[in-house]
Amino acid sequence: MEPPGTDAADELLRTYTESGGINYLDAAAMLPSRPAIESACVDLMSLMFPGFHGEALFDSSDLPDVTRSRIKSLHTRMKPEIAKSFASLPRDEADQKAEEILTWFMAQLGPLRKVLWTDVDAAYEGDPAAASYEEVIVSYPGVEAIAIQRMAHLLYEKEVPLIPRLMTEWAHTSTGIDIHPGARIGSHFFIDHGTGVVIGETCEIGSHVKLYHGVTLGARSFQRDEQGHIRKGGKRHPNVEDYVTIYPNSTVLGGSTVVGARSTIGGNVFLTQSVPPDSLVYYEAEHMRVVPKHSHAQAARDFLSE
């Protein structure tokens, strides 16, 4: 009698030779490690917000040594992962490229942290429920999602494969906010509540923009080639200019769609065309009545008594 599972194993093994792209057997060791990148995201948040994420500091005088230690540790752990993402290059060349990118990336963290402070400030000033900056940093999902996306965007700009998406997907899993690392986002960006927000790869968002939960900045349609395959690349997602507010569950689609500066998009709007600056876009309520509860109840009783 064959051991349990033998037939199932044989069937799976046959698919490994037939299914092509879903196998990565010959070079499995060359894929970046998802757990390693997720761990790096945690450490990066500790660098951006010391004392709020990661191990607590016993004394502020420890900060210089702890910061240098974290940067060195991150560099050591991220270098092989970035090198793996350049698997098409010779090993020595991939290692050298990873070293150059990481050195540059670490140097950008200081300036990037100044931009993150504008996001924290936008959240505090934009939400009357925010009691303190500390509350915003430790508990607002939008801050975490934006911080990781801004760091991932740096690597995206350097054309690092895979890793930027692994970073933003870690934030997506943690926060419910899905921001592609390719999106270009200005300062003072605030996502209130945040659950269900989707921001596409080619979005360009200005400064002082505020989004509520359920907002989608997405693609309207996809061009296809002669074989019917979706064409990759191209401008597919909208631009949102400075000082725009988009309320819950609204959808803005299309690479040629521009939401003009200082505009407000009301809740549940479906927008596929550009709107000029200083616009208010909303749906008027139809077929809705508001009546006093006691009058409605009395009318129902009168109807039933007839």
DSSP of 141-159: HHHHHHHHHHHHHHHHHTT
pLDDT score of 154? 98
Least confident range from 32-41, 67-76, 226-235: namely 226-235
pLDDT of residue 44: 96
pLDDT tens by residue, 82-102: 999 998 899 999 999 999 999
pLDDT, mean over the chain: 89
Give the chain's domains with CATH numbers: 30-176 (1.10.3130.10), 183-222+234-306 (2.160.10.10)
147-188 residue pLDDT tens: 999 999 999 999 999 999 999 999 999 999 999 999 999 999
- Evaluate if residue 58 carries a pLDDT over 70: no
For the chain, state the CA radius of gyration: 25
Q: Quote the CA–CA distance of 212 and 216 in Å, as a whole number.
A: 10
pLDDT value of residue 279? 96
- Averaged pLDDT for residues 227-234: 80
Mean pLDDT, rounded, for 69-94: 93
SS3 218: strand
- High-pLDDT (> 70) share of the chain, %: 89
Structure confidence by residue, pLDDT tens digits, 257-271? 999 999 999 999 999
Mark out the alpha helices in the chain (DSSP H runs). Answer: 6-18, 34-48, 63-85, 91-126, 133-139, 141-157, 163-175, 293-305
Query: Torsion over CA of 243, 248, 254 and 256, rounded to 10 degrees?
Result: -20
Res 298 pLDDT > 70: no
Would you state the pLDDT for residue 297? 61
Q: What is the pLDDT of residue 226?
A: 76
Conformational region of residue 96, where left means phi above 0, alpha means psi within -120 to 50, and beta covers everything else:
alpha
Tens digit of each residue's pLDDT (9 = 90 or more) over 2-48: 566 678 888 877 777 776 666 665 554 578 999 999 999 999 999 99
